[in-house]
Amino acid sequence: MAEAVFAVAAVLMLAGAIGVVASRNPVHAALFLVQTLVGVALLFILNDAHFLAAVQVVVYAGAIVILFLFVIMLLGVDKAEELRVEPIFGQRPLAAVIGAALAAVLGTVILTTADVLSGIRQSGGERALDGEATDIERMGRVLFGEFAFAVEITAALLTIAVVGAVVLTRRAARSDGAAPAGSGGG
């Protein structure tokens, strides 16, 4: 039974991932992303991580993808654009260089801190689980203790993304000659 569920989840995730990459319409890509995230939730259920499956569906497939759709609709990019036209000269080569540098830095960090990231201590022993605390309490201690900085950075990046979408929308409205949103028009 477990093998069949895994096979269904794998097919669901692979088809969704291919759909995200191959789709020309951003709205369709977001919907394929929901399909991929539901497949990941199935894998969590298969591994008896029901809380993580619920978080996967509610937070990622629900809130984050809705945020993506909101930004897509707000910017009006729900149609395919011409990719051969480069809006800013040298943008693509610069993005490739920065992306390669970031990938190199990330790879270096992962290789040098693999023991820390995996939770294995330098002494070689594994940490004992706290038998009195619930899973949610332990998760809260880890997220807002050891990984508080990563949680704060994620929140800041999501806020910056929303502010950037609003700024781009206002700038696009002004360049079209239309009145900016909320200006009253008269």
Model pLDDT for residues 83-94, shown as the tens digit of each residue:
677 677 788 888
Q: Domain map of the chain by residue range?
A: 134-181
Residues in the chain: 186
Over pLDDT 70: what percentage of the chain?
76
Q: With 0.75 as the threshold, say if the pTM is over it.
A: no
Nearest 10 degrees: CA dihedral of 18, 22, 26, 32? -20
Q: Which residue did the predictor score with more confidence, 87 or 159? A: 159
Q: Which pLDDT score is estimated for 119?
A: 54
CA atoms of 82 and 72, how far apart (whole Å):
17
Model pLDDT for residues 30-52, shown as the tens digit of each residue:
899 999 999 999 999 988 888 88
